[in-house]
C-alpha cells in the first residue's frame, strides 16, 4: 500500500513543494472530479500575515486541475504541519482523471488531499495576495510545459472559484513571508504570544 498526495495550490510549484518535501521529483497532472477549488482558506497571524489562500471542498459535478505525487507515509506529519489550515482527507481513485497514471495507482493505495477546515471568502482584511497567485500559476505553467499539455494553467484559473476584488499586489513586499524567511510563521507566533501589545501595532509598509 502506497501513499499519495493531491496538490492543487502552491504544491503545484516545484520549488514550493520541494521546500517541504525535497525528495519529491515525480508528479503527474490530473483532473479531480467532485471537488471545487476556491479562495476560501484564511490565515491570520496579525499583522504580518492576513491573507486568503486556496482551499478545496467536495462539490458534485465539479472538476479541478491538480497534481498527484507519491510520498513516504512517515513524512505526512511534515506536510500536515505546513497545511495547518486544512484537514487531510482521503480521495477515491475513481474521482481522478489521470494524464497517464505513471504511478500505476491501485485501488488499495491511500490518496490524500487537504480540505479547508473553516471555509470563508476573501475580504479587505483577508485579501488574495499576488505573490501566492504567482507561485500557483507559475507552477501550473511549469507543469503545462513539462508534460506538453494544453491549457493546464488556464484551466487552473478557470476551475478556481471565489476570485475577488479583495486582491493586493504584494510582489515587491510579499505577504507570504516564508518565501524569504522560512521561520516567519514561528517567529510571528512567538512574538504574538509574548509581546502582543507591541506586535499588534506593527505597520506593514
Query: Residue ranges per domain, the chain?
Result: 3-175
Q: How far is CA 158 from CA 55, 114, 146, 189, 192, in A?
A: 15, 20, 20, 35, 38
Q: Report the pLDDT value the prediction gives residue 197, as an integer from 0 to 100.
A: 75
DSSP code for 205:
-
Encode burial over 101-119: b for 16+ CB neighbours within 10 A, e otherwise: eebebeeeeebbbbbbeee
First vs last Cα of the chain: how many Å apart?
50
Distances (CA, A) of 138 to 54, 92, 114, 173, 194: 15, 28, 21, 18, 37
Residue carrying C-alpha cell 522560512: 182
pLDDT along the chain (205 residues), means of 10: 96 94 95 97 75 95 95 95 96 92 90 97 89 88 93 90 87 65 61 71 51
**Which residue(s) pair with 57 in the sheet?**
36
Res 55: pLDDT: 98
Its pTM stands at: 0.84
User: How many CB atoms within 10 Å of residue 153?
Assistant: 21
Count of Cβ atoms closer than 10 Å to residue 42 Cβ: 21
Residue 162 near residue 38 (C-beta atoms within 8 A)? yes
CATH class of the domain whose range is 3-175: alpha beta
The secondary element (H helix, E strand) that includes residue 57 is: strand 49-70
Residue 205 pLDDT: 39
Amino acid at each position: 500500500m502506497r501513499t499519495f498526495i493531491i496538490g492543487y495550490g502552491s504544491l503545484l510549484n516545484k520549488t514550493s513543494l520541494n521546500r517541504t518535501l525535497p525528495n519529491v521529483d515525480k508528479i503527474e497532472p490530473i483532473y479531480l472530479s467532485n471537488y471545487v477549488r476556491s479562495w476560501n482558506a484564511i490565515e491570520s497571524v496579525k499583522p504580518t500575515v492576513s491573507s486568503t489562500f486556496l482551499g478545496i471542498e467536495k462539490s458534485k459535478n465539479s472538476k479541478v486541475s491538480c497534481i498527484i505525487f507519491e510520498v513516504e507515509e512517515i513524512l505526512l506529519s511534515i506536510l500536515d504541519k505546513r497545511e495547518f489550515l486544512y484537514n487531510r482527507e482521503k480521495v477515491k481513485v475513481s474521482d481522478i482523471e489521470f494524464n497517464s497514471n505513471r504511478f500505476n495507482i491501485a485501488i488499495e493505495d491511500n490518496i490524500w488531499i487537504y480540505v479547508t477546515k473553516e471555509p470563508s471568502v476573501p475580504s479587505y482584511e483577508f485579501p488574495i495576495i499576488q505573490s501566492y497567485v504567482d507561485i500557483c500559476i507559475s507552477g501550473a505553467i511549469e507543469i503545462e510545459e513539462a508534460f506538453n499539455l494544453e491549457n493546464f494553467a488556464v484551466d487552473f484559473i478557470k476551475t478556481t472559484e471565489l476570485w475577488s476584488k479583495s486582491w493586493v499586489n504584494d510582489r515587491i513586499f510579499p505577504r507570504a513571508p516564508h518565501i524569504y524567511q522560512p521561520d516567519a510563521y514561528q517567529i510571528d507566533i512567538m512574538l504574538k504570544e509574548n509581546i502582543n501589545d507591541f506586535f499588534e501595532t506593527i505597520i506593514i509598509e
